[in-house]
Structure 1
Amino acid sequence: MAAGATIHTFDVTLADVDRGVYESFPLRMARHPSETEAFMITRLLAYCLEYEEGIDFTEGIAAKDEPAVLVRDLTGAIVAWIEVGAPDASRLHLGSKQSGRVAVYTHRNPGPVAAAWAGKKIHRASEIPLYSFEPGFIDTLASALDRRNVATVSITERRLYVELGGVTAESDVTSQPAA
């Protein structure tokens, strides 16, 4: 019998000074058995950094034709396609054609992630930002991950401050174009 997903809950307090977003909300995240803690933390942060009305998690790693996070408008149309990790160029191409905006958040070294897309067909590639964090930031937060979590996420001038389970970490959110 295959192992099922592990459910993690988060009580999130978000203060995004850069965008004027101040919210508190509960989140339930299913963690697939093959999903690393670092990937899950990056999914959580991508959700917070992109938070707006209509945002939702997809099936994550198990989703074949969807990103980790989607934003839909009231009609159901895809407004933003948010990938996590190191998606292949074909996923970015698909997302860019289906939505008005695409972004990628990675817990890996962004250089090799972007290099894998070089020379590949990606619709509007120059408009797709690849966001990354300082070395060790994601690992510090991943070490504090529990089944039930309280998270405080603050963003000011693209500097990210996170408290998770009593562990505090901070990082700049750096960006480079996909192409």
Structure 2
Amino acid sequence: MAQKARVIRVQLQIADMQRHYYQDHSLTLAQHPSETDARLLVRVLAFALNASEDLVFAKDLSDEGEPELAEYNLHGDIELWIAFGQLDEKWLRKASQKAKRVKVYAYGGRSVPIWWQQNQSGLQRFKNLQVWEIPEASVKEMAGLMERGMQLQCNISEDQIFISNDTSSVTLEPVLLKDFS
């Protein structure tokens, strides 16, 4: 019998001084049995960095033709497609054709620089693509914040991100590998 997704509830308070965005969000996420706590928290981090009224998580993580996290306009077009991990050029080309903007949050430690070196030249042609690296130490620390019902505060200021709960906190400094051009 296949395992079912675990439901994770997150109360997320965001104070983004760079975008002047201050909002509380109640998120309900499905954690697929194969998804690690670290990856789920990278998704929460990406939500916090891009939060808006129209940003939504996908209902089904296994649908590869749709974004896991996206912002849609009133016509149903994808304004922002957010992806995670180390994706291949072919997949990112499809996302870039379907969305106005695409952001990738790459994580995975020492394999990220290797992936970036192999794909950098091919990805440069996508003008609507932005790529960020989340340092592995930060990803591991974030996994320590994981609970089934989380209350997280996220403060964003001067390219530093502070995520905390009642007992601990993590400081992150994502690295911009490629910006929109």
Q: TM-score, normalised by structure 1?
A: 0.90
Q: Secondary structure at the match of 2:66?
A: coil
The residue that corresponds to 1:58 in the other structure is: 58
The answer to whether the Cα contact below 8 Å between 2:107 and 2:135 also exists between their aligned partners in 1 is: no
1:101-116 aligned within 5 A: 101-109=101-109, 110-116=112-118
The residue that corresponds to 2:154 in the other structure is: 153
The residue that corresponds to 2:145 in the other structure is: 144
Cα distance in 2 between the residues matched to 1:92 and 1:60: 19
The residue that corresponds to 2:95 in the other structure is: 95
Are residue 129 (structure 1) and residue 130 (structure 2) matched? yes
The answer to whether the Cα contact below 8 Å between 2:159 and 2:173 also exists between their aligned partners in 1 is: yes
Shift of 1:93: 0.6
The answer to whether the Cα contact below 8 Å between 2:41 and 2:142 also exists between their aligned partners in 1 is: yes
1:1-179 aligned within 5 A: 1-59=1-59, 61-109=61-109, 110-118=112-120, 120=122, 124-164=125-165, 166-177=167-178
Shift of 1:58: 1.1
The unaligned stretches of length 5 or more in structure 2 are: none
The answer to whether the Cα contact below 8 Å between 1:42 and 1:106 also exists between their aligned partners in 2 is: no
Cα distance in 2 between the residues matched to 1:177 and 1:115: 12
The answer to whether the Cα contact below 8 Å between 1:154 and 1:162 also exists between their aligned partners in 2 is: yes
The unaligned stretches of length 5 or more in structure 1 are: none
Count of matched residue pairs:
178
Q: Quick one: structure 1 residues 124 and 140, their matched pair in 2 at CA, closer, same or farther if it must change by over 3 Å?
A: same
The one-character-per-residue Cα deviations of 1:54-89 (angstroms, maximum 9, x if unpaired) are 111114641211222111012211100110112222
Q: CA RMSD in A?
A: 2.1
Cα distance in 2 between the residues matched to 1:62 and 1:178: 28
The one-character-per-residue Cα deviations of 1:38-68 (angstroms, maximum 9, x if unpaired) are 1111111111101123111114641211222
Q: TM-score, normalised by structure 2?
A: 0.89
The answer to whether the Cα contact below 8 Å between 1:117 and 1:178 also exists between their aligned partners in 2 is: no
> Quick one: percent identity of the two aligned structures?
23
The one-character-per-residue Cα deviations of 1:3-26 (angstroms, maximum 9, x if unpaired) are 010010000000111011100010
Q: Secondary structure at the match of 1:62?
A: coil
Q: Quick one: structure 1 residues 52 and 172, their matched pair in 2 at CA, closer, same or farther if it must change by over 3 Å?
A: same
The answer to whether the Cα contact below 8 Å between 2:96 and 2:128 also exists between their aligned partners in 1 is: no
The answer to whether the Cα contact below 8 Å between 1:149 and 1:165 also exists between their aligned partners in 2 is: no
Cα distance in 1 between the residues matched to 2:57 and 2:173: 24
